[in-house]
Amino acid sequence: MKAQPIASHFIDGEYVEDTDGTVIESLYPATGEVIARLHAATPAIVERAVAAARRAQPAWAAMSPTARGRILKRAADIMRERNRELSELETLDTGKPIQETIVADPTSGADSFEFFGGIAAAGLNGSYIPLGQDFAYTKRVPLGVCVGIGAWNYPQQIACWKGAPALICGNAMVFKPSENTPLGALKIAEILIEAGLPKGLYNVIQGDRTTGPLLVNHPDVAKVSLTGSVPTGRKVAAAAAGSLKHVTMELGGKSPLIVFDDADIDSAVGGAMLGNFYSTGQVCSNGTRVFVQRNIKETFLSRLKARTENMVIGDPMDEATQLGPMVSFDQRQKVLSYIDKGKAEGATLVTGGGIPNHVTGEGYYVQPTVFADVTDEMTIAREEIFGPVMCVLDFDDEAEVIARANGTEFGLSGGVFTSDLTRGHRVVDQLEAGTLWINTYNLCPVEIPFGGSKQSGFGRENSLAALEHYSELKTVYVGMGKVEAPY
Ligand code: NAD
């Protein structure tokens, strides 16, 4: 299998190569096969990308929002037409099963282009402020050159979720995908050009943790939006603070999913499985601490075990496959080491706990794993694992579970399953997190704001809220009379 792009970077409307950059090998996670060889951006490539963005941005900002929106909507259409091809590429890039990528990855990117393209005409209005005989008005103005830095779990979605609001506000973007998944964003850049985006407005450069800082520290960059881990977030925010850049931080989590004894148990089991095993557990908002009220624990665990052991693990390109490999060998080793810690610290292994027996070759597979009798102090209950490992914890009453659910530095998301409507709202109201679900889990349509609190970050993606993070207000006070000065 090969997925070699024309060149490593996409700058100023065309593919660009600089073989002086460190080699990045793109491996297909299901087999370990090298499917593409790319080069990390050299400082010269970084300069070229930022310069192209800077050159292109003013004319783009001067266009009407409707005209900008039309281009994004065209990009959404092209993405939908090419959904199969883009989904296969996403599967090669990440190892996620085609059953998922075909419904969740390019489609969600297309939604983002469609949404922001559609709201452009009305969403960027300013306001008029009456001040007696004087008045003021506000304008929403772009920031300039925005940098997007992506994680490897949703490469195409992240490239679009950052690109769409940035572009619609009149900015230009330089996007750096994760070094683990370099392929998808290049296609997004190609599609935007095909849709009519003027060159230089959406550039993609490759690189790793040494390349990112070249962008974050660049004096011509006005904003950085990162999707990544908390430690990376701290470094990027600190570097951006050096020149007071705008920042959006979409970071990790260890979110609580609370199941009360009056919940529809099958829905709660389904929600917990989706919130732990989708994308092989590599989802930032996953509800990895599943608190189950003690009197339904046995029923919950037995149904969960049966359904988990029925999952189809295997070739991600097979439509029947429900669980693919981890993104990389290193990520699998990290997940396996957490599983070992869970066992060593006394959690009860309900199912899974290792590499699937039937998997041969070099694929980075891990069994979907459930631990029960997990306590708050255990490592697996405290740290983000980012793999298909669910921790089930028991609880007795509402106040106790809320306090324990909040007992974490993270605050990305959370969920509650209950048939008591008032309790559902009461509990989510007290959970310290940016995105919460009642009687479902992990649904993130473009219409709703998404983002974290506490150490999980700040700023919001999607929805009208994202516009505020890619633009700023310019206020104009208009004096209508003679200036009265006391001197
Ligand atoms: P990571 O933090 O290792 O890397 C993220 C990106 O940052 C990569 O592109 C990497 O090259 C770059 N990077 C690393 N160090 C940098 C630096 N010093 N300066 C600039 N860029 C730097 O994260 P990952 O392993 O790719 O992704 C997994 C993490 O991302 C998890 O913690 C997960 O929860 C989080 N995540 C969060 C969201 C969200 O929306 N909140 C979504 C997906 C993933």
- Atom 37 of ligand 1: nearest residue by CA position: 251
Ligand 1 pocket, residue 410 CB under 6 Å = no
Q: Is the pLDDT of residue 360 over 70?
A: no
Mean confidence (pLDDT) of the chain: 97
Atom of ligand 1 nearest to the CA of 252: 34
Q: Is the pLDDT of residue 5 over 90?
A: yes
Q: Is the pLDDT of residue 108 over 90?
A: yes
Q: Is the pLDDT of residue 450 over 90?
A: yes
Indicate the length of the chain as a whole number. 487
Ligand 1 pocket, residue 227 CB under 6 Å = yes
Q: Are β-strands 246-250 and 457-458 bridged in parallel, bridged antiparallel, or unpaired?
A: antiparallel
Ligand 1 pocket, residue 24 CB under 6 Å = no
SS3 content of the chain, % helix, strand, coil (to 5): 40, 20, 40
Residue among 232, 251, 279, 413 to mutate when testing ligand 1 (max atoms within 8 A of CB):
232
Ligand 1 pocket, residue 90 CB under 6 Å = no
Burial of 480 (0-12, 13-18, 19+ CB in 10 A): exposed
Q: Is the pLDDT of residue 121 over 90?
A: no
**pLDDT given for residue 362 in this prediction:** 80
Whole-Å CA distances, 373 to 307, 362, 391 = 19, 33, 8
Atom of ligand 1 nearest to the CA of 232: 2
Ligand 1 pocket, residue 292 CB under 6 Å = no
**pLDDT given for residue 58 in this prediction:** 98
Buried b (16+ CB within 10 A) or exposed e, 46-63: bebbbbbbbebbeebbee
Q: What is the mean pLDDT of residues 219-239?
A: 98
Q: Give which of 251, 309, 299, 250 is closest to 277, Cα–Cα.
A: 309
**pLDDT given for residue 485 in this prediction:** 95
Atom of ligand 1 nearest to the CA of 151: 26
Determine the straight-line distance between the first and last CA of the chain, rounded to whole angstroms.
80
Ligand 1 pocket, residue 151 CB under 6 Å = yes
- Using one digit for the tens of pLDDT, what is the confidence trace for 280-338? 999 999 999 999 999 999 999 999 999 999 999 999 999 999 999 999 999 999 999 99
**pLDDT given for residue 207 in this prediction:** 98
CB 3 within 8 A of CB 89: yes
Percent of the residues in the chain that have a pLDDT greater than 90, as a whole number: 98
Instruction: Please state which of the ranges 226-235, 242-251, 265-274, 357-366 shows the lowest mean pLDDT.
Output: 357-366
- Using one digit for the tens of pLDDT, what is the confidence trace for 16-65? 999 999 999 999 999 999 999 999 999 999 999 999 999 999 999 999 99
Percent of the residues in the chain that have a pLDDT greater than 70, as a whole number: 99
Bin 32: left if φ > 0, else alpha if -120 < ψ < 50, else beta: left
d(CA 371, CA 401): 18
The C-alpha angle with vertex 327 and arms to 194 and 115, in degrees rounded to 5, equals 35
- Atom 15 of ligand 1: nearest residue by CA position: 209
Q: What is the mean pLDDT of residues 79-105?
A: 98
* H or E, element range at 27: strand 23-27
pTM more than 0.75: yes
Q: What is the mean pLDDT of residues 411-416?
A: 98
Q: Give residue 364 CA to ligand 1 midpoint distance, Å.
A: 20
Beta bridge partners of 158: none
Q: Give residue 189 CA to ligand 1 midpoint distance, Å.
A: 21
**pLDDT given for residue 358 in this prediction:** 73
**pLDDT given for residue 97 in this prediction:** 98
Residue among 209, 279, 286 to mutate when testing ligand 1 (max atoms within 8 A of CB):
209
CB 272 within 8 A of CB 301: no
**pLDDT given for residue 61 in this prediction:** 98
